[in-house]
Amino acid sequence: MTKIKVGIIGSGMMGPIHAEALRRLGYVEVVALGEANQDLARVKAEQLNIPKAYGDFRALIADREIQVIHNCTPNAMHFEISKAVIGAGKHIISEKPLALDSRESAELVTLAAKAGVVNAIDFNYRNYPLVQQMHAVVKSGQLGRLFLVHGSYLQDWLIKDTDFNWRVEVAAGGESRAVGDIGSHWFDTVQFITGDPVVEVMADLNIVHKTRKKPKQTIESDSGNILTTDDYVNVPVATEDSATILFRTHSGASGSCVISEVSAGRKNRLYLEADYENGALEWDQEEPNRLWIGRRDRPNESMIKDASLMHPEVRPFSHYPGGHPEGYSEGPYNLFANVYVFIRNGAKGTPTFSTFKDGHSERLICDAILKSNRTRAWTRVGA
């Protein structure tokens, strides 16, 4: 029972979540943590009960013992670090977005394929049991033709001009904020469920606070901390607070999506409805154990996550009996379960999880959205 040895780079919001999900697997060991400097690395590693601490990501990558590396750094560092991991011939699991734009993400896809390393990206919302169930139902063909898909991803953590985070600034978070950070999840989830790629977009981005008050010390995202108003610096904001987007899919269905980080009372509401010829699917990430199925000629259905009601292939994504809610933490747990079984089995066959290709696909959509907003015109994805 030798365990697979793993290193995690980055200990912000996502690093600890990765560590915990990996430990639940039982056959994976988190042996090292990388951070921006040695002191921070040591403190955080101790907090997280991780044996080794690296103040330099290159040193962590070079550690002979480590077979797989998780990239949990801020967006702007994703590209460089993932490239270095691939360069060292090690397996790589990246937080999203894969990179800051589709040029970078394309390069990573190519490099990873050439190097033959296992590569995954954490589009964790795919990994809810009922999202998998929607995917399976659509794939079975029983719902027929897709007419319309729509929804929203709403948060409120940046509603005030005194709310601040590294994601607000282009240098660390990239040119797009709301779309890049949360819209990316919405589009990945929808493409995964429908299997119908987004081919054209029409977007309108909005910045509701043209300047924000930046505190002198950083805060974690979604932390709910209430800061005092002293010691703020006014900074101009160039990244969008919200976006309204129309799109068309490969099959000709029309789509609509609203993305916002300034919608009061919405904490993390990824919401979608897919309207098919023979029924509709509706799902809300804030109540993830319930799937609504709309029907025209009989009562609508409300499926509670319950293994006995789900497609056989989907059942492994559910760990507890019906009515025992599965939550956010089971997303990365399921993703990693799939990735590490794949690694353990010698990386044969087709991955059943989101890979760098999916990360690149999302970056193409994001680039098209940014371009559409600039040109105020319908824009082809990947053109």
Binding to its own copies (CB under 8 A) within 30-59 occurs at 46, 48-51
The stretch among 34-42, 112-120, 150-158, 346-354 that binds its own copies (CB under 8 A) is: 150-158
Q: Are 327 and 288 in contact (CB under 8 A)?
A: yes
Tokens 């999900």 sit at which residue? 21
The stretch among 63-71, 107-115, 338-346, 374-382 that binds its own copies (CB under 8 A) is: 374-382
The candidate with the shortest Cα–Cα distance to 10, out of 99, 87, 81, 105, is 81
For its own copies, the closer of residues 73 and 242 by Cβ is 242
Out of 73, 119, 285, 338, the residue judged to bind its own copies by CB under 8 A? 285
The stretch among 143-151, 165-173, 183-191, 338-346 that binds its own copies (CB under 8 A) is: 143-151
For its own copies, the closer of residues 305 and 363 by Cβ is 305
For its own copies, the closer of residues 100 and 243 by Cβ is 243
Out of 58, 145, 210, 311, the residue judged to bind its own copies by CB under 8 A? 145
For its own copies, the closer of residues 107 and 268 by Cβ is 268
Tokens for 152, please give them: 């929203």
**What span, in angstroms and rounded, lies between the C-alpha atoms of 226 and 239?**
23
Contacts to its own copies from residues 82-111, by CB under 8 A: none
Q: Are 83 and 100 in contact (CB under 8 A)?
A: no
Q: For the CB of residue 216, give the shortest distance to its own copies in the complex, in Å.
A: 21
**What span, in angstroms and rounded, lies between the C-alpha atoms of 257 and 249?**
13
> Using N-to-C axis directions, what is the helix angle for 184-194 and 129-140, rounded to 10°?
40
Q: For the CB of residue 358, give the shortest distance to its own copies in the complex, in Å.
A: 21
Q: For residue 243, what are the CA distances in angstroms to 92, 195, 259?
A: 31, 23, 5
Q: Count the site residues for its own copies by CB under 8 A.
A: 101
Parallel/antiparallel/unpaired status of strands 146-154 and 254-260 = parallel
The stretch among 85-93, 164-172, 323-331, 338-346 that binds its own copies (CB under 8 A) is: 323-331
For its own copies, the closer of residues 312 and 346 by Cβ is 312
Contacts to its own copies from residues 113-132, by CB under 8 A: none
Contact residues for 155 (Cβ-Cβ < 8 A; gap 6+): 182, 222, 260, 261, 263, 266, 267, 268, 269
Give the H/E segment covering residue 113.
helix 102-115
The candidate with the shortest Cα–Cα distance to 328, out of 52, 124, 136, is 124
If you write DSSP's letter for every residue of 163-178 in order, what string do you get?
---GGGSHHHH-S-SH
For its own copies, the closer of residues 217 and 308 by Cβ is 308
- When asked if residue 142 is in the footprint of its own copies (CB under 8 A), the reply is no
The stretch among 55-63, 67-75, 103-111, 306-314 that binds its own copies (CB under 8 A) is: 306-314
Give the single-character DSSP code of 313.
Answer: G
For its own copies, the closer of residues 49 and 218 by Cβ is 49
> x/- contact string, 175-194, with its own copies (CB under 8 A)?
--------------------
- Residue 202 has φ and ψ, to the nearest 5°, of -140, 115
- When asked if residue 202 is in the footprint of its own copies (CB under 8 A), the reply is yes
Out of 40, 113, 378, 382, the residue judged to bind its own copies by CB under 8 A? 378
Contact residues for 350 (Cβ-Cβ < 8 A; gap 6+): none
Tokens for 235, please give them: 């900074």
Contacts to its own copies from residues 209-268, by CB under 8 A: 221-226, 241-242, 244-246, 248, 253-256, 258, 260, 262-268
Tokens 């009922």 sit at which residue? 130
The stretch among 35-43, 101-109, 273-281, 359-367 that binds its own copies (CB under 8 A) is: 273-281
If you write DSSP's letter for every residue of 312-337 in order, what string do you get?
GGGGGG--S-TTS---TTHHHHHHHH
Out of 58, 324, 344, 380, the residue judged to bind its own copies by CB under 8 A? 324
